[in-house]
Structure 1
């Protein structure tokens, strides 16, 4: 891993950072731009349909970013030899945060799929019930955690 990182460190760090930016930035865009623009739609069926489509497209973009984030993190942790150093606690904190974010993301993914099935069967109240906690709790939680993880990453790069 050290040789891989030595030869491609700029690319690996870039892919790691851009993956975090896509994930966290995508959530910021969904929560503060898309979500509020949907509030002007009065027809519940159209509103739910657009929300489901927005989340589907978000997933298509962010799932590869999450996988890439994990792979590049593993490469950097091993190659940079953080284990046994004072910075290892920061690395562990980032791992815990990204793990929690991934669990939250999986929850969002499952809820969106349940909402989609309810929507397709015409059960709009059930679809809405599945989607509500995504915008109210899950995405805001992941935004906060993602910003903290990015800060910790910048802290690690500064040393």
Structure 2
């Protein structure tokens, strides 16, 4: 009897295999919500990504502004055009109002949202950061590990 793995490698099955790389599936927008999250976003931006863009969030009287790392500052609504996924990175609850605004804008546009809490779980209480993101992130990871951002971008083929 031929195993499932072996039968999948027959000539008949091989004609269904893709012999070219998959196209990027998601145009991702990675946003550092608070100042302490910026280094993680900067480090991840140094990797080679097809369609991920990296920002620092801020706000003024006109609303939420996103500053591209090493680039220009523009309004949130402008940056969400053509975006499939927004990943918000936080270390505390200081940017809760910014996360709320980004989450509402993404919800109105049916953009997938995710949040990663990078907190020092040995010395800091992460509950406030989790509570700040929970209502606005469909996917929430509270691990404190910077590599989770990289893994998420790989998973969505950014």
TM-score for both structures, normalised by structure 2: 0.26
- The structure whose residues are more often strand, as a share, is 2
Which is bigger in relative contact order (C-alpha 8 A, separation at least 6)? 1
